[in-house]
């Protein structure tokens, strides 16, 4: 585009100082006819101006939500997005099966994160580590308590996924900014449940009635949640946080189902 006529794209102003002011706000003006053919090879819509009335400015608001990992869809079939990676360490827990944990790991890699799985079941995670990433190693599998500093940064966030039983030992990895720790427990053990209270986010899949009662005490759930948790479908989970809770469908895509299989609660 030529630089000989930079004023062609400036908003048009009143001809004189005493001319009445136009109450409309010019957002962008079309180039003068004499410059149009020289500056634009292909004509667009034949509009003289793009003009908004002052009362129309509210229509410019864009529906931009939080960035993060799509954990599923809400009850209105809208994407449920969770900001997992932040300039501080984030703690999460999942009371449920490995399927949902693997799905979350896969979706975290889609946002550019690295995933380290600390597990006593390497045979369960090896297929995902081999097939995720399109030939690049984006998921690493390591033994329990063999995790060091993972070097998480804003440009390279890390998800540490801990799969070490119902009472996992303390993590050996230091918690740093841009690192999220997701602890997977297969059921809600009363002797470990108290350690989940401090987590930033806790997802609960189908549990027994006794576990539902314990979850209600730990996370201040209502009677409806206590009744619903023992009957949840495999693709449904209750996500809780300090400021609320929400049921989320995991909603796996065709590619995710091809890699992980159908949603299931038990491993």
Tens of pLDDT, residue by residue over 125-163, are 999 999 987 777 899 999 998 998 899 999 999 999 999
Beta partners for 202?
93, 240
Tens of pLDDT, residue by residue over 238-266, are 999 988 899 999 999 999 999 999 999 99
Two structure tokens written together for 13? 């102003």
Two structure tokens written together for 230? 């023992």
Tens of pLDDT, residue by residue over 216-245, are 999 999 999 999 999 999 999 999 998 889
What is the rounded CA–CA span in Å between residue 267 and residue 97? 6
Two structure tokens written together for 56? 């129309």
What is the rounded CA–CA span in Å between residue 96 and residue 168? 14
Beta partners for 160?
116, 181
């Amino acid at each position: 585009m030529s630089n000989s006529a930079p004023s062609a794209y400036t908003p048009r102003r009143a001809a004189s100082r005493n001319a009445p002011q136009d109450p409309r706000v010019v957002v962008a003006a079309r180039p003068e006819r004499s410059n149009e053919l020289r500056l634009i090879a292909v004509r667009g819509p034949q509009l003289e101006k793009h003009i908004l009335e002052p009362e129309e400015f509210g229509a410019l608001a864009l529906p931009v939500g939080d960035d993060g990992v799509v954990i599923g869809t809400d009850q209105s079939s809208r994407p449920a997005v969770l900001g997992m990676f932040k300039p501080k360490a984030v703690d999460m827990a999942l009371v449920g099966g490995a399927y949902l944990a693997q799905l979350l790991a896969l979706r975290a890699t889609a946002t550019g994160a690295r995933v380290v799985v600390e597990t006593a079941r390497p045979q369960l995670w090896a297929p995902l580590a081999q097939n995720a990433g399109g030939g690049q190693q984006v998921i690493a599998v390591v033994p329990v308590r063999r995790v060091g500093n993972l070097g998480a940064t804003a440009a390279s966030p890390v998800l540490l996924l801990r799969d070490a039983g119902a009472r996992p030992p303390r993590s050996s990895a230091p918690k740093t900014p841009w690192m999220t720790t997701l602890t997977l427990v297969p059921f809600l053990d009363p002797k470990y449940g108290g350690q989940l209270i401090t987590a930033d986010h806790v997802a609960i899949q189908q549990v027994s009635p006794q576990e539902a009662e314990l979850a209600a005490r730990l996370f201040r759930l209502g009677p409806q949640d206590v009744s619903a948790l023992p009957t949840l479908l495999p693709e449904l989970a209750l996500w809780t946080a300090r400021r609320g809770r929400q049921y989320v469908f995991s909603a796996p895509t065709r590619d995710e189902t091809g890699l992980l299989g159908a949603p299931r609660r038990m491993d």
